[in-house]
Structure 1
Amino acid sequence: MTPRARYFLDAVRRADSIVIASPGYHGGTSGLLKNALDYLQELAADPVPYVDGKAVGCIVTTLGWQAGVTTLTSLRSTVHALRGWPTPLGVVVNSSAKPFGPDGEALDPKVAGQLAGLGGQVASFARMRASSSV
């Protein structure tokens, strides 16, 4: 296993919550993301396997709406298979609308609000999980 793969797995182990973002490719996540998520199999024998019980925010970017919704559904299913808890809000960003500026700032207030909402849910669920395990 490469040092970068070990670093990734250690980061997932330490994380209280996770945000996963992927471009949508023909209704599915990118191959690179799928490969990264496949590495989580290495966590199967851990005391907390995979992403068990962690809040996971899901974001998908696509050039259009249809592929985005299908990809988001696929990503949420993958999170469930890894024993994670996808946040109630998942975000699809239609990149054909040019929602971001050159510095990465959200130009579309709806997109900005959805991303802020998703971040709030991820943080809130992580705090709840931390307080319940004390």
Structure 2
Amino acid sequence: MLKYLLYTFVFFSLPLAAETRVVVFSGSLRADSWNTKLAKEAAYIASKKGATVTYFDLNQYPLPFFNEDIERTTGMPENAKTIRRAIQNAHAVIIASPNYNGSMSGVLKNLLDWISRSEDGKDSRSVFKGKKVALMSASTGKSGGSGGLAHLQYVIEKMNGSVIERKISVGRADSQFDADGHLIPSETRSNLAKEIEEAIR
């Protein structure tokens, strides 16, 4: 089943022990983003391995800048609630993040700030508790945007997520994807598949 804004991939290869739910999103809003391509490739691989994958396009889930005045007067925005609840119901989360000046993108940090909050005042910063989190990046540079992942890992771990040690960075991304948006067969794609395997098993 495919939906435009929030869609679910369901393909089956080797069966998992039980239904494994995975949330995937990219921290980039740019049209034709390499990180969005990477996130969708990760979603595709996870679904081929038997997971039920929900992908969020953050362009379709805009949020105001985090502000406790907004939180106090109107509560958590509905778009943040939607993503937060999906993560709470998932077994694993996959995030592809661009490197902006050695950190994550503003839109990604803002999302994390919102979903780190509690809807009921009881479970702040628990959204990633018990979740495996796979981090990855892509850029046209040689390093593949890897410089921002350390800061992202720090934030996710502050939110009680368990970040997988293996992190994939796709360098020279403009030559790594085919016309359909899939990674070309390579060591990078093989390592990405291994990272996804660690996340969903």
TM-score bin, normalised by smaller chain:
0.7 to 0.9
Contact 2:97/2:136 (8 A) holds in 1: yes
Larger helix fraction of residues? 1
Q: For the pair shown, which has the larger CA radius of gyration, 1 or 2?
A: 2
Aligned partner of 2:55 in structure 1 is none
Q: For residues 31-42 of structure 1, what are the structure 2 equivalents within 5 Å?
A: 31-42=106-117
Gapped runs of 5+ residues in structure 2? Answer: 1-75
Aligned partner of 1:14 in structure 2 is 89
Report sequence identity in percent.
26
Gapped runs of 5+ residues in structure 1? Answer: 125-134
Tell me if 1:92 matches 2:169: yes
Is the alpha carbon distance of 1:66 and 1:94 closer, same or farther for their aligned partners in structure 2, counting shifts above 3 Å? closer
TM-score by length of 1: 0.81
Aligned partner of 2:180 in structure 1 is 103
Q: For residues 16-95 of structure 1, what are the structure 2 equivalents within 5 Å?
A: 16-43=91-118, 45-46=122-123, 49-66=126-143, 68-95=145-172
Aligned residues: 124
- Could you tell me how far apart the structure 2 residues matched to 1:108 and 1:27 are? 29
Higher relative CO (Cα under 8 Å, sequence separation at least 6) belongs to 1
- Could you tell me how far apart the structure 2 residues matched to 1:40 and 1:48 are? 8
CA root-mean-square deviation: 2.1
CA deviation after TM superposition for structure 1 residue 112, in Å:
1.0
Contact 2:116/2:125 (8 A) holds in 1: no
CA deviation after TM superposition for structure 1 residue 65, in Å:
3.8
CA deviation after TM superposition for structure 1 residue 47, in Å:
8.9
- Could you tell me how far apart the structure 2 residues matched to 1:94 and 1:54 are? 27
CA deviation after TM superposition for structure 1 residue 89, in Å:
0.5
Question: What are the superposed Cα offsets for residues 3-45 of structure 1, whole Å, 9 maximum, x if unpaired?
Answer: 3222111111111111111111121111111111111222372
Contact 1:27/1:67 (8 A) holds in 2: no
Aligned partner of 1:127 in structure 2 is none
Question: What are the superposed Cα offsets for residues 82-128 of structure 1, whole Å, 9 maximum, x if unpaired?
Answer: 1111111111111445211121111151221121011000011xxxx
